[in-house]
Structure 1
Amino acid sequence: MGRERIQILDGGMGTTLESIGHSVSSDLWGSELLYTNPSAMQSIHKGYVEAGADLVETCTYQLTPTNLQKYLSSSSEEHKERSSSSSSIIRSSVNLVHDSFRDKPGVVFSCGPYGSTLKPGAEYSGIYPPPYGPNQSSDPKGNTYKFNYFSNTEEGKAQEENAIHHLTQFHLDKLICLLDDDDQGEVWKKINWIAFETIPLMYEIKAIRRCMKTLNEIARNKYTDGHSRYDGGDGTEKQWHRKKFWITCPFPNGQHPQLTPEGKTISIDTILHILLDPHEDEEIPDGIGINCTNPLYVPQLSSQFTKQLKKIRMSKYELPVFVLYPNGGQVYDVHTKTWSTPLDSPGNAMEWSKGVLEVVNDLEKDKKDDGQYTWGGVIVGGCCKTSFGEIKALKIGLDELYR
């Protein structure tokens, strides 16, 4: 067990921007600062690096080429004078993070679910409109019943496949902006991870895996001859075009939002199989885990992830990294866009980090019957309502734990 197996991720972005006086009330949740005030955005990134983060996310969670272009077209005359495309602004988010590090940059490109672009947000419900979700039903009185699953009929399966197709394209449209003809892959090379976070649906996970399969193939064809390689930095030679990615899910009230056609909560076992089972047209994620979940639920959920992973036959070279970044313990109301603080939420940054580090310690202690680690490593940080104090507390706690 070693400290080198654990990397620290940054904390929340939107809530941190809000706490220091920036508005996050737009459809872009503060991401417009990439265009209007990039230095303010970079100050947040630098703050996390100084707090001890090894990995820092771009402020692109809600950002898409479509909503960004809509914002640009409606910007004030002052901002319209700048000649910027949505693609160039998305690429600039990578450079802002990269240049915030003094050495060994750890850039994570953030991708939220389709639900993060809806009003109200649907990251915690997974209720998407067609064609991204199932057709909703109504009773004779006009009451609409909303659900996030497809029926087991042939029609339901066809609808699900159509939704996967549209969600694959949704994620690909955003990521393809990073593959620019002018920079010879310089922006692409700066990215260490792509994070698909707060994913509430199993069929969106399938779409993301298809997206990454396609994206990595496009990058390989664009930037290499199929043989060009470089040192990945961990002692192994890797094809540089392929990007590591993780998929993390929210667990509001300790349960995944996805329901079965019978209306039951989906099991952790099913989640892991959908995340990790090999399919020819799907890339297997390098990391899986939990984000934007109350830290009170994290110990039991992490234990269930570990228990189920042991049942999946994988070599030590294929083991995924466990990615964990819970929220600060507050509860968000998507309709009022306000936060409430339950009585049992952590009282301060040190209390929050202590609970999270206990889970990290358990993850690293867990071994398979052959003595090998269960997980390929751990990435740990914070999500909404965590900030510099929580990340600094994680850094201090980890250093003490592995002194």
Structure 2
Amino acid sequence: MPRRTPADALADGPLVLDGGLGTRLAERGADVSSALWSAAVLADRPELVLDVHREYLAAGADVVISASYQVSHDGFARAGLDRATTDAMLARSVELARRACEEAERGFVAASVGPYGATLGDGSEYRDLGLGVAELRAWHHDRLRVLADAAPDLLAIETVASLAEVEAIIAELDGVGVPAWVSVTPADGRLRSGEPLAEALAIAAASDDVLAVGVNCCPPDEVTDAIVAARSATSKPIVVYPNSGERWDAATRTWHGSGAFPEALVREWRDAGAALIGGCCRTGPDDVRTVARVLEQGR
């Protein structure tokens, strides 16, 4: 019998995504302070990564996102690690997520594909770095294929800040053979580059390789307007997974402000048309339980 796909599941109703991986690893005692962030834990303490995936599945997640967000060939090279090690860690990230799903006898694996800026480890994913489409295509090419070869259920293209990177990733998805969602990071209703949010989502949604489009790594109060922008661009499923609402200071590597992930907001996102809902930085299992409860109430 063919394995059930995320598209099959979405036909039955909205799906629950997991929460912040780095957040939960830090709460569990892992050191995520280096430029490699959670990727360092993937290399040094893989069992802890597996445990966090298990926690999110137990909290009600239908999709777990792999620990590959900051794993890249040049980022690992700066840390003194070779290409073979990088490839092994990319594959390990998918294998750990798959193992957790198999143990739970449920769930899908989304292989995280962070943007170029994320691998610099200094908050650069929140700004346009001025790279062109050709440069970004070359940078993403090998990593996408290594992750695809590890056989995830889909690719989670995350925290994209510019039209150029959206265009580059869409071009590189051609021939990869794994469906993807493309999620951009907005601020004040636009991309971090200042470019139109709806244009980015329309470019992504036009690809046959893209299952869903949406936003992540943004304040919760940005999400409803982003759903409206996404719906104006496409009829494809919409994915949303914001931060807790706290603000990241890349210079001091600290969070500021207070976080809130209220049930009423999750219900608002569901009613506005979001089909995959979860949390990003500073969210955890309790937030996933909230999402699962709201989505169950709507079925």
Tell me the TM-score normalized by structure 1. 0.66
Q: Where does structure 2 lack aligned partners over 5 or more consecutive residues?
A: 1-9
1:256 aligns with 2:191: yes
Q: Could you tell me how far apart the structure 2 residues matched to 1:307 and 1:120 are?
A: 33
In structure 1, the residue matched to 2:3 is none
Cα deviation 1:177-236 (Å, max 9, x = unaligned): 2466xxxxxx32xx111011000010111110111114x2xxxxxxxxxxxxxxxxxxxx
In structure 2, the residue matched to 1:234 is none
CA distance change for structure 1 residues 395 and 71 in 2, over 3 Å: closer, same or farther? same
Q: In 1, are the aligned partners of 2:71 and 2:86 still within 8 Å (CA)?
A: no
Q: In 1, are the aligned partners of 2:198 and 2:233 still within 8 Å (CA)?
A: yes
Q: In 2, are the aligned partners of 1:69 and 1:85 still within 8 Å (CA)?
A: no
1:321 aligns with 2:237: yes
Equivalent of 1:275 in 204, 207, 212: 204
Q: Where does structure 1 lack aligned partners over 5 or more consecutive residues?
A: 75-83, 134-162, 181-186, 217-241, 260-265, 310-318, 365-377
Higher CA-based Rg: 1
Q: Could you tell me how far apart the structure 2 residues matched to 1:335 and 1:20 are?
A: 24
Q: In 2, are the aligned partners of 1:60 and 1:110 still within 8 Å (CA)?
A: yes
1:385 aligns with 2:282: yes
In structure 1, the residue matched to 2:87 is 87
In structure 2, the residue matched to 1:303 is 228
1:51 aligns with 2:59: yes
In structure 2, the residue matched to 1:357 is 267
- Which amino acid is the alignment partner of residue 245 of structure 1? A
In structure 2, the residue matched to 1:285 is 210
More helix by share: 2
Correspondences of 1:3-22 after superposition (within 5 Å): 4-22=12-30
- Which amino acid is the alignment partner of residue 59 of structure 2? A
CA distance change for structure 1 residues 127 and 204 in 2, over 3 Å: closer, same or farther? same
CA distance change for structure 1 residues 3 and 51 in 2, over 3 Å: closer, same or farther? farther
Q: Could you tell me how far apart the structure 2 residues matched to 1:70 and 1:198 are?
A: 22
Q: Could you tell me how far apart the structure 1 residues matched to 2:233 and 2:169 are?
A: 22
CA distance change for structure 1 residues 192 and 325 in 2, over 3 Å: closer, same or farther? same
Q: Could you tell me how far apart the structure 2 residues matched to 1:207 and 1:124 are?
A: 17
Cα deviation 1:34-92 (Å, max 9, x = unaligned): 22111111110000000000100110101112323543549xxxxxxxxx722122111
Q: Could you tell me how far apart the structure 1 residues matched to 2:106 and 2:188 are?
A: 37
CA distance change for structure 1 residues 119 and 381 in 2, over 3 Å: closer, same or farther? closer
Q: Name the Cα RMSD after superposition.
A: 2.2
Q: Could you tell me how far apart the structure 2 residues matched to 1:276 and 1:397 are?
A: 26
Q: Could you tell me how far apart the structure 2 residues matched to 1:198 and 1:111 are?
A: 9
What SS is found at the alignment partner of 1:123? helix
What SS is found at the alignment partner of 1:247? strand
Q: In 2, are the aligned partners of 1:12 and 1:387 still within 8 Å (CA)?
A: yes
In structure 1, the residue matched to 2:145 is 176
What SS is found at the alignment partner of 1:290? strand
Tell me the TM-score normalized by structure 2. 0.88
Identity of aligned residues (%): 26
Q: Could you tell me how far apart the structure 1 residues matched to 2:110 and 2:118 are?
A: 18
CA distance change for structure 1 residues 308 and 19 in 2, over 3 Å: closer, same or farther? same
Q: In 1, are the aligned partners of 2:32 and 2:40 still within 8 Å (CA)?
A: no
1:341 aligns with 2:257: yes
Q: Could you tell me how far apart the structure 1 residues matched to 2:49 and 2:121 are?
A: 24
CA distance change for structure 1 residues 361 and 3 in 2, over 3 Å: closer, same or farther? farther
